[in-house]
Amino acid sequence: MKSLTTSQILKSEFKVNEKSPLIKPFGGAVVVADPSVLTPDDSHDKKWHMFLHTTFGVYHFQSDDGVNFEKKKKVLNRAMRPNINRIDGVYNLFYERTRPLIANGLNFLNIVKWKSEIYVTQSRDLINWSKPKLVIANTREYEKSDRGTAISNPFLLQENDCNRLYYSCGMTYIDDCKFCEPTHISYAQSKHITDDYVSAEHPLISPDKNNPYLNLCSGCLKVYKLSDGYIGIQNGIFEKEGKSHSAIFLMTSPDGLNFKFEKMLIEPQVVHGKDWMKQFVYASHLVRCGDTLRLYFNARNIANPIFGRECIGFAEAKI
C-alpha cells in the first residue's frame, strides 16, 4: 500500500463482487463479522488467510484465491474484532477480549455492564499461538459509558520506531438494533508492538449530529500509509429517515491523526439481487492484489436483532 498515492486511491471506484457474500453465519451464530486479511505476499505459505469473529469467538479461514475460503479452526474464545498482521516473521493477532458468553448475554439484557479490552497473541505459523496478553485497558474517561467499558476494533499501523494502535471505544445504544456500537475512535502509541501503549488524551473521532454519516456514533477506523500521506477507511453509524444505517467512506490525512472526508465507498444497498447488505455496511480491511484493491467487509441485512444476519463479502477497484 505504501507505494500507492492518494490520487490513485481517490480515483478508485469500488464495486461489490457478485460472489459476495463469501462467508455466511455458521455453527449456530447469526453473525460473521470484522474480517482481517493476509494476502499471499504477507503469509509464510503464500495463501490467503482471513480472521473473523462470530458470537462464539475468533476463527481462522484460508483460501487459495481470496474468494473461496474454508474454515481452518477457532483460534480464540471470548474474542471479537480481530486484526492480523505479520512483522519480522511474527504474526500479531490483536482482538477485543470480552467477558464469558453468559455475561455478554446479561449485558445484552442490560443486567450487567459490558467490559472488554484489547489483547494480542503471537504466532510464527498461524497454528501455535502464544498466551494472550493485555495490550490496552481502560485508562481514559471517554472510554466509559452507562452500559460499561468497551475497547475494541484494534488496528495496528507501524512506521519507523512507533507502533500506533487505533481502536474504538465507548458504547452507544442503537434503538432499532437493540445493541451497542462504538461511540468514539482513538489511538494508543508505543515503541513496542505488545507493550507500554499510552492512549491519547482525547478521541480522534466522535459523533457529529451535523454529519449525515456520523450522527449516531463512530464505528471503526482502519488507517493506511501511502507514499504521500495517509488514508482512513471508516464505517460511521448514522440515522436516516428514522432508521439506523452504516456505510464505509474514505478519508485522507497528512499525519494519520487529522482526517478529512473525501467520498463514500460503499453504501447499504441491494446488490446483484441480494439483500445481505441492505441496511448496514460495517468494518472493513483493505488489501492489494496486483493491480487491484480488495476491500473485505461485513454487512447486515436488517436491524432486527432476531432476524438480522451479518455476512462477509468484498468489493474491488482497479488501481
Rounded average pLDDT over 273-294: 97
Residues 146-166: what's their mean pLDDT? 94
Q: Is the dihedral of CA 220, 32, 151, 278 positive or negative?
A: positive
Residue 273: left if φ>0, alpha if ψ -120 to 50, beta else—which one? left
Average pLDDT of span 185-196: 97
Quick one: what percent of the chain has pLDDT higher than 90?
93
The answer to whether residues 249 and 263 touch, using CB atoms and an 8 Å cutoff, is yes
Question: What is the fold of 6-318?
Answer: Tachylectin-2; Chain A (2.115.10)
| 21-75: pLDDT as tens digits | 999 999 999 999 999 999 999 999 999 999 999 999 999 999 999 999 999 999 9
Sequence spans of domains, the chain: 6-318
Mean pLDDT of the region 274-302: 97
- Let me know the angle formed at the C-alpha of 124 by 120 and 128, rounded to the nearest 5 degrees: 75
pLDDT at 110 > cutoff 70: no
Q: How would residue 105 be classed by pLDDT, with cut points 50, 70 and 90?
A: low
Average pLDDT of the chain?
95
Q: Residue 179 corresponds to which cell in the numbers above?
A: 445493541
User: Under a CB-based contact definition with an 8 Å cutoff, are residues 184 and 170 in contact?
Assistant: yes
pLDDT band (50, 70, 90) for residue 16: very high
- Residue 318, pLDDT > 70, answer yes
Residue 108 has pLDDT above 70, yes or no: no
pLDDT band at 109 (very low <50, low <70, confident <90, very high): low
